[in-house]
Structure 1
Amino acid sequence: MTAVSAVVDQRMRPLGVLRLSLTARCNLACPYCCPDLEDPPDLLSLEQQLRLIRVACRLGIHTLRLTGGEPLLSARLLPLLQAIAAARATPGDPLQGLQQVALTTNGVLLSDQRARDLRQAGLDRITVSLDAVDGVVVARMAGLRHASAGEALLGKVLSGLSSARSAGFDPTAGDLKLNAVIQQGVNEDQLLPLADLARDQGVELRLIEFMDVGNRNQWRPDQVLPAAQMLTRIRARWPLQAVGRPTGGTAQRWRYVDGGGYLGVIASISEPFCGDCNRLRVTADGQAFRCLFASVGIDLKPALHCEHELQRRIGDLWSHRDDRYSDERQRITDSMPHAEMAYLGG
């Protein structure tokens, strides 16, 4: 099949990023995510995943992010990465247009060997999630019962960061980043400690507003600490210089004036970026979601037997896309159902 131009939606937003979930399972129980204990039936096979990625590349994606649940729980992760790497190295393969393959993980299973395996298999970037540096708060944010478990988890995540760096994921090149979801009244006191940790580790910290994704996390507007307030608190200790948000990106980036690296803020509640959103999310069982806040997905499995049919189906669903949920949040009813975060993959 010949290459085609990037497909655009009703608001002229091109398809650019595919977020592919490998599993809905997780080894933590973060309350804002509320993961499932089991995977949905009919997980995509390795062959189906590759076919999906290849077709998405023909339609314009330049970035693939592998998510979960916790993707390191998936036995298909390494074989998938190896197959992607082989395709990226094959002249004429659509995957040659893939500029970046990234992974989001909680870091618990990111051992020295696992990090080396991921790098050797062709993974370009890792983002590790950590919402606190105090054992009590770490435990609370991860759904653990005791502070000692929180301290142990913190140790594993820090060890995972070290393993990733040793394996060749260079923070200064953007290969290794840290994500933190901030909830007002829950872990907002961890803002400065998290920034301090990230600066010490030499990794970019991305602060994320608590989002109304799913129906289990009991989201309320008063639990959102707006990005502007986060920045005010950070800036009071370390002066910042604005870098901006790239087209299609999620994070407004800032540079520490003292040379301490970079900071990102993802403000999908207070400063929505629907206008240039270029992300297609596909769940581990092949449901396509055009928006993180969507109610239902579009089943791709009936088309996965044929690349031509799959390309037509994805092109059609994207070209008819017209959503901008975050822009319209204030006038959408609170009762509107959403797919769960762990199922969607963030």
Structure 2
Amino acid sequence: MPANAIVDRFRRPLRNLRISVTDRCNLRCRYCMPEAEYVWLPRRDLLTFEEISTLTDVFVSLGVDKVRVTGGEPLLRRDLPDLVGMLAGKGLRDLAMTTNGVLLADNVEALRAAGLGRVTVSLDTMRAERSKTLSQRSTHSSVLAGLASIAPAGFTGTKIDTVAMRGVNDDELVDLIEFGRTVPAEVRFIEYMDVGGATTWSPDLVLSRADMLARLGEHYGTITPLRNTDAAPADRFELPDGTTFGIVSSTTQPFCATCDRSRLTADGMWFRCLYAVEGTNLRDPLRDGASFEEMRSLITGKWEAREDRGAVERLAERDRMPFIPLATLKSNPHLEMHTRGG
């Protein structure tokens, strides 16, 4: 743990910051943005790149050493490589971006040149028609082209994020691992979570980590757990031939005890938990002229008071339904996962 790291009431350090640069997305995935209409953040409220850079400096001074650029779809934010260049000069241990891959091929060289360290691409299926059903868009070929552009641009450490859903894409676990070998990329299967826009979520759709391991074991044989060396949400596993993959079991086996991440929305709301219904407005004090030390004090106080264990608390609920009703989502865009960066 860095000497300057602050900790919350459960001794969890502030290490990992996810920065959403836009709430807009060019897909409408059923587990994230399944509705027809959305209330968007006013463009005048969005943080400028300079404001994001300033806030990142404050977070870095408090122990953050990993930053992930997210959205919505981050590549919809104009001139994104300019922001990446600003962030790349801050001495971070890890600077990554999560994207749906649709616009990646056209931007990958500029992102690499700007100093982006890693790329994670969301890919839920290898089948074009299934992709169209899941995302409500015909963009599968563009996503595959984006994935194919990553290694030639010089990136390593690439990951593929797959939301695994029972009866939807659970027959493609092996196919996705085999595809990951060709990118190359490590696949991370994510349990379907009942957050934000997952308005059709139900327990019956959750494919648990245990189920995933059982299915993969039937095909590959013995699967070996790997020791986690940090607070990353994915538990990693190794196949008999040395191929690795991860599982993020946020729904059935939450990682709240070691969670060191927080989220900054595109308009400057800071959330300390994915399940939090309220955040802290960092934009207004920044624009009102708060000093660096005043911003440090604000963030420190909120983190040191943090007691969030949202996924654990949700797991304990007996009759578990989608976390946020649709009517509530439509009245508060900050509750959407595409706004707070997932």
Q: Tell whether the structures are fold-level matches, with TM greater than 0.5.
A: yes
Deviation digits for residues 289-308 of structure 1, max 9, x if unmatched? 10011112111112223322
Matching of residue 326 in structure 1 with residue 308 in structure 2:
no
CA offset at residue 336 of structure 1?
5.4
Amino acid at match of 1:26: C
Name the residue aligned to 1:201. Answer: 183
Q: Hey, what's the Cα distance between the residues in 2 that align with 1:183 and 1:283?
A: 27
- Counting only pairs closer than 5 Å after superposition, residues 1-346 of structure 1 correspond to structure 2 as 5-34=4-33, 39-41=40-42, 42-85=45-88, 88=89, 95-96=90-91, 98-111=92-105, 113-144=106-137, 149=138, 153-170=139-156, 174=157, 176-239=158-221, 240-259=223-242, 261-304=243-286, 305=289, 306-332=291-317, 334=321, 337=324, 339-346=335-342
Structure 1 SS opposite 2:97? strand
RMSD: 1.9
Amino acid at match of 1:164: I
CA offset at residue 154 of structure 1?
2.5
Amino acid at match of 1:69: G
| TM-aligned CA distance change 1:106 to 1:336, over 3 Å | closer
Name the residue aligned to 1:91. Answer: none
Q: Hey, what's the Cα distance between the residues in 2 that align with 1:55 and 1:110?
A: 29
Q: Hey, what's the Cα distance between the residues in 2 that align with 1:251 and 1:38?
A: 32
CA offset at residue 101 of structure 1?
0.6
Q: Hey, what's the Cα distance between the residues in 1 that align with 2:27 and 2:128?
A: 15
CA offset at residue 246 of structure 1?
3.1
Amino acid at match of 1:199: R
- Identity over aligned pairs, percent: 40
CA offset at residue 200 of structure 1?
3.2
Amino acid at match of 1:31: R
The 10-residue stretch of structure 1 (268-277 or 240-249) with the greater mean CA deviation from structure 2: 240-249
> Quick check: 1:4–1:59 contact (8 Å CA) kept in 2?
no
> Quick check: 1:103–1:126 contact (8 Å CA) kept in 2?
yes
Q: Hey, what's the Cα distance between the residues in 1 that align with 2:141 and 2:46?
A: 32
> Quick check: 2:237–2:246 contact (8 Å CA) kept in 1?
yes
> Quick check: 1:44–1:286 contact (8 Å CA) kept in 2?
yes
* Unaligned ranges ≥5, structure 2: 330-334
> Quick check: 2:196–2:323 contact (8 Å CA) kept in 1?
no
Deviation digits for residues 132-190 of structure 1, max 9, x if unmatched? 0112211121123xxxx3xxx232112111211110012xxx2x111100111221122
Q: Hey, what's the Cα distance between the residues in 1 that align with 2:7 and 2:70?
A: 24
Q: Hey, what's the Cα distance between the residues in 2 that align with 1:161 and 1:180?
A: 14
CA offset at residue 38 of structure 1?
6.6
CA offset at residue 51 of structure 1?
0.7
The 10-residue stretch of structure 1 (304-313 or 265-274) with the greater mean CA deviation from structure 2: 304-313
Q: Hey, what's the Cα distance between the residues in 2 that align with 1:70 and 1:225?
A: 25
| TM-aligned CA distance change 1:226 to 1:28, over 3 Å | same
| TM-aligned CA distance change 1:121 to 1:38, over 3 Å | farther
Count of matched residue positions in the alignment of Structure 1 and Structure 2: 322
Q: Hey, what's the Cα distance between the residues in 2 that align with 1:335 and 1:194?
A: 27
